[in-house]
Structures are given as structure tokens and as C-alpha cells.
Amino acid sequence: MASTVRSNNVSLHHLRSAVAASDYGSFRRAAELLGVRHSALSRSVSQFEYLLGVTLFERSTSGVTATPAGRAILRMSQMILEQVDTLVITGRSSGHGEAGRLSVGFCTSVSAGNLRASLIEFRRRAPLVELATVERSCVRLMNALRSGTIDIAILPGGITPPDQESLPVWSERILILLPDNHPLATLNVVHWTDLRNETVLLSQHDPGDDLEDLLTSKIMTPEDRPKVERHDVSRGIVKSLIGMGLGVSLVMESDVGATFAGIVYRELLDGTGPSRLRFRVHWLPDNENPVLRRFLDLIAERYPSPSRDRD
């Protein structure tokens, strides 16, 4: 029982005094390093020895030398002090959003464009943060956000659900993806009305129904609309299907960084110019993850004017 009482009184001050004395081989030089009086440091080491029931140092007029038992204890003391320092640094970093984990959900590509650039910049500013990315459909991302599985969802559209907060960010141009031997591939730009007799392949991972709704709004007459096929595969597989000549597809400009053989991108125009999808960043207001706030600060800095489109 007495040994338990003694060990409970060991403090970090005792450890630092002993380690400093060992490093400098002198109570006096260690005291100068720590900015304390020589007598105070000597008393701290003596208390440490009493509490442990072990003599840590052999004292002489030339200084101090660790005993065999003392060397083992001093090594453990050094390890404890290093772990405590790491603990403090981690705590401070986490509190300021410099360390921790952030889970980002999206339904667009990260092969190019604004999302890719934002994630790269965040990694540069917060290298200690574990950055997890999740690609799902819009509905699944909303469910994941509400359940706390992800911290943030980057989605197309301008509606913010009542249980969430959001920021408008960038918009992306809509492109048509074609086999390189398709007749439309000979054109520099393609108009929506050129898609009348085409089969448009879309992935279930595309941004919800936004691309299909956009197609419907651009070609209003039902008999002129192309056939739309949805496939429960990734966008990469859809590209392979396009390369096989099974149809064309609608993609966003962030997708152009992922190139596949046998396919080409062309810009889609209507009477007013390129068509775009707007994006918003969504999060739950009660999410207290400090890393989330750091990421939102970056987003607000990069996209400060919500009133205008951003490429």
C-alpha cells in the first residue's frame, strides 16, 4: 500500500529533473537548463529517488552518474516525457483543426477541377489530417451526412435541407463523352439538339437525376429526347462502354482528367452558351469536428463570392 501512495506522488517535474541531470551529468548545469535553483533540482531528484525506492545517481564532486537501476528508470522517464510532449502537441493541433480526420463525400470526379484543387490545398495546409473520401449517389451521401458517417457532402443543386448548413461553391460545365469514331466527334462543339437519336449512358454514381433533368430541360419535346440508360457501375465502366460504341454520356468538366482510349470530350452548348451544374458544400450544424471548420474556412477563402460562377 505504501508503494502505491508513493508512486501516485511522482510528477513530470521529477522526471524532467532526473533526465536533465542525467543528460548534463551535473545537478548545477541541469538546474541552469531548467531555470531553477540548484538546491530545488537536487531536492526534486532526491524526492524522486525516495518515491521510487531506488538510488538513481552516484554523486561526486565532479558531478553525477546514473546507477545501473537508474539508467533503466531514466530511459523510461525519457520515453514518458516524449509521449507527454507528443500528447500535448496532438491535443493542440486537434483543437485547432491541424490534426484529426475529415470524411468528404462527393458525386463528381476528382481527376481535375475545383474539388481536386481544394483537397490538394487542404492536404498542403493540414498534412496531419487524415483525409477520407467517399463517392456515392446524392441520396446516399445525404443519408451518410445525417448519420455522421461523413463530415461534409459536396453536391449539385441549390437546395439546403432544414437540418443542414451549406455554402455555394463552384459550378462545372457539362460535356458530352463520345466514341472517337462517332460522327459528332468531328465537331468542335456539340449542341443539345444533336443528341436526339443517341443513347445516353449514365452511371448510378452520377449526381442524382441532375444530368437527366438537364437533358430533359434542354430537349423539351419527348419524341426528340435521346434514350437514357442508367447502369449500376462506376463512371469508369461507363467510359469503357462508350469506348465500345454502346452510346454516349454526359459528364462534368472535372472528369476530363481521367482519360480512356477510344473516347473524346466535346463541349455541350445551347443558345446561350455552355450548360453548367452548380455545387454546394453541406454539413450538419452540430458537427463539432474542428477539422471540419478548418476545411470550411478554406472553402470560404477559395470561393468567397457565391453570386458568380466559378470555373
Decide if 283 contacts 263 (C-beta within 8 A): no
CA distance 248 to 268: 12
pLDDT tens digits, residue range 9-28? 888 889 999 999 998 899 99
Percent of the chain clearing pLDDT 90 (strictly above): 29
* b/e code 109-132 from CB counts within 10 Å (16+ = b): bbebbbbeebbeebeeebeebeee
- How much is the pTM? 0.62
Decide if 184 contacts 194 (C-beta within 8 A): yes
- Structural domains in the chain, CATH included, are 2-95 (1.10.10.10), 99-169+277-302 (3.40.190.10), 172-276 (3.40.190.10)
pLDDT tens digits, residue range 86-121? 666 556 555 554 668 889 988 877 666 888 899 999
Of residues 58 and 219, more confidence is placed in: 58
Q: Give the chain's mean pLDDT.
A: 84
Give the DSSP letter of residue 147.
H
Q: How many CB atoms lie within 10 A of CB 54?
A: 13
Nearest of 70, 296, 285 to residue 160 by alpha carbon: 285
